Amino acid sequence: MKRTVVAAAACLVASVACAQSSVTLFGVVDAAVTYTTGSGPAYTSRWQLTNSANSFSRLGFRGNEDLGGGLSASFWLEEGLQNDTGTGFASNTNNQLNGTLGAGTLTFNRRSTVSLSSSTWGELRLGRDYTPTFWNTAIFDPFGTGGGIGANQLYFSGLGGLAAPTGTRASNSVGYFLPANLGGFYGSVMYAAGENVSNSTLPPATPGALPVSNKNDGNYGGVRLGYQSGPVHVSIATGLTTYATGDLRVSNLGASWTFEQLMGLRIMGEYYVESLGAVDGRGGLLGFSLPVGAGEIKASYARYVRDPVGNVPNPTSSKLALGYVYNFSKRTAVYATVARLTNSNGASQALGGVSTSPNHASTGGESGMRVVF
């Protein structure tokens, strides 16, 4: 404690230098007017002001210190914002299904890490961070994983892949990242702890049954490897989360090619498989983004197929999205997106918080603005 007081006092005396050399305040505020509707007998529709339709709204504090000899230390604290209402997001403290804490309030749910980095051996990172299996779902979707109707993340959540506690980030993680400058190759591995005690058990399913250990509930392990150089970007990742109610496995492969000769057209695709306990699902995505002056046109087609549910074979959903972003500057943009989602084999996925009848379509449009700071 004394150490901290001393260090903080040193920082206070030199507060200007402190603030300028070591801490960066950053963020995104993104809001859009969104209309979505389902179809069929059970349809609903809705007008909303939404957030994060182009990029996730956030507020963060980060800094790094050069320790000499190629070594540096850094921290990163980033909270998610629901700026349509002024609220924040819960974090999940143990990577388990019961670990959500802080619904609607500000937490550093997006990232909360401290790192030691070396130019030769890479980076060791401790805290709450993105899982290796998340990144490909964002990088190879022209709409990212934003909260808007363009993003295709919902397809990745059929079995809970992207919606699982470890789908995007994990708490209690130790991560290792390869150093930069490996000729375009990069990679990372993460282990995250559910932190149950050694004799933790589930309540018996039936009275008198033997208790089942859940000491590994919420443990996550994952790895990602990629190559990015010139026009090429390809990346593969796989991860396993141990859940007491059935393990979750997620693997994905993404690739993109940027054609500088074709006005900077970038085409991209992703294929992924997920399984939760004994049920499998798989999906894919094709998309492109095309710079046009100060703007950008983007589009994607995605499809998700799940194992049969009961005697209905392979519920399937498909989605087409088309968007335009106009960049006033590097920081400020306005945008518009339209999307249409179709269902078959009993699926009833719908856009943006509405309902659609099984095998019926859902459509929507939205327009908003985004500021990065």
**Please, which of residues 23-52 interact with a second copy by CB under 8 A?**
23-33, 37, 44-49
Shortest spacing between CB 109 and a second copy, in angstroms: 5
Q: How many helices (H) and strands (E) does the chain have?
A: 3, 22
Q: Specify whether the CB–CB gap between 169 and 93 falls below 8 A.
A: no
Q: Structure tokens of 124?
A: 């060791």
Tell me which H or E stretch contains 15.
Answer: helix 15-22
213 binds a second copy (CB under 8 A): no
* Dihedrals phi, psi of 190, to nearest 5 degrees: -140, 140
Residue whose CB is less far from a second copy, 33 or 240: 33
Question: Closest distance between a second copy and the C-beta of residue 77, in Å?
Answer: 6
Residues 5-24 that bind a second copy (CB under 8 A): 6-8, 10-12, 15-16, 18-20, 22-24
Q: Which of 96, 111, 164, 287 contacts a second copy by CB under 8 A? A: 111
**Is residue 199 part of the contact set for a second copy (CB under 8 A)?**
yes
Residue number, 172 or 343, with CB nearest to a second copy:
172
Which residues 127-166 are close enough to bind a second copy by CB under 8 A?
127-128, 138-139, 141, 143-146
The answer to whether 78 touches 172, Cβ cutoff 8 Å, is no
Residues of span 233-262 touching a second copy by CB under 8 A: none
Q: Please answer whether residues 90 and 82 qualify as being in contact, where contact means their C-beta atoms are separated by less than 8 angstroms.
A: no
> Looking at beta carbons only, is 65 or 260 nearer to a second copy?
65
Q: By CB under 8 A, which span of 88-96, 155-163, 313-321, 337-345 interacts with a second copy?
A: 88-96
* Smallest distance from a second copy to CB 351, Å: 12
Chosen residue from 136, 173, 214, 275 binding a second copy by CB under 8 A: 173
**Please, which residue, 24 or 245, has the CB nearer to a second copy?**
24
- The answer to whether 97 and 243 have CB atoms below 8 angstroms apart is yes
| Binding characters for a second copy, 312-331, by CB under 8 A (x = yes) | -------------x--xxxx
Q: How far is the CB of 76 from a second copy (least distance, A)?
A: 8
Judged by CB under 8 A, the number of residues near a second copy is 116
Q: Which is nearer to a second copy, 279 or 288 (CB)?
A: 288
Q: Is residue 88 close enough to count as binding a second copy by CB under 8 A?
A: yes
Long-range contacts from 179-184, C-beta under 8 angstroms, 24+ separation = 179/118, 179/119, 179/120, 179/121, 179/122, 179/123, 180/119, 181/119, 183/229, 184/227, 184/228, 184/229
Q: Which is nearer to a second copy, 87 or 314 (CB)?
A: 87
Angle at 115 between CA 126 and CA 1, to 5 degrees: 80
Instruction: Name the minimum Å distance from CB 305 to a second copy.
Output: 24
From the list 131, 166, 188, 196, which residue makes contact with a second copy (rule: CB under 8 A)? 196
Radius of gyration of the chain (CA): 22
Per-residue string for binding with a second copy, 278-297, x by CB under 8 A? ------------------x-
Q: How far is the CB of 45 from a second copy (least distance, A)?
A: 4
The DSSP string of 250-272 is EEEEEEEEEEGGGTTEEEEEEEE
Helices (H), 124-280: 135-139
Which residues does 288 contact at the CB level (< 8 Å), separation at least 6?
Answer: 142, 265, 266, 267, 268, 298, 299, 300
Q: Which of 198, 206, 261, 311 binds a second copy (CB under 8 A)?
A: 198
Residues 90-109 that bind a second copy (CB under 8 A): 91-94, 101-109
State whether residue 62 is helix, strand or coil: strand
61 binds a second copy (CB under 8 A): yes
CA gap 269, 302 in Å, rounded: 9
User: Does 363 sit near a second copy (CB under 8 A)?
Assistant: no
- Give bridge partners of residue 173 from the DSSP assignment: 127, 192
Are residues 113 and 183 in contact, defined by beta-carbon separation less than 8 angstroms? no
Q: Does 339 help bind a second copy (rule: CB under 8 A)?
A: no
Residue pair 233/225 in contact (Cβ under 8 Å)? The answer is: no
When the beta carbons of 196 and 275 are compared against a second copy, the nearer one is: 196
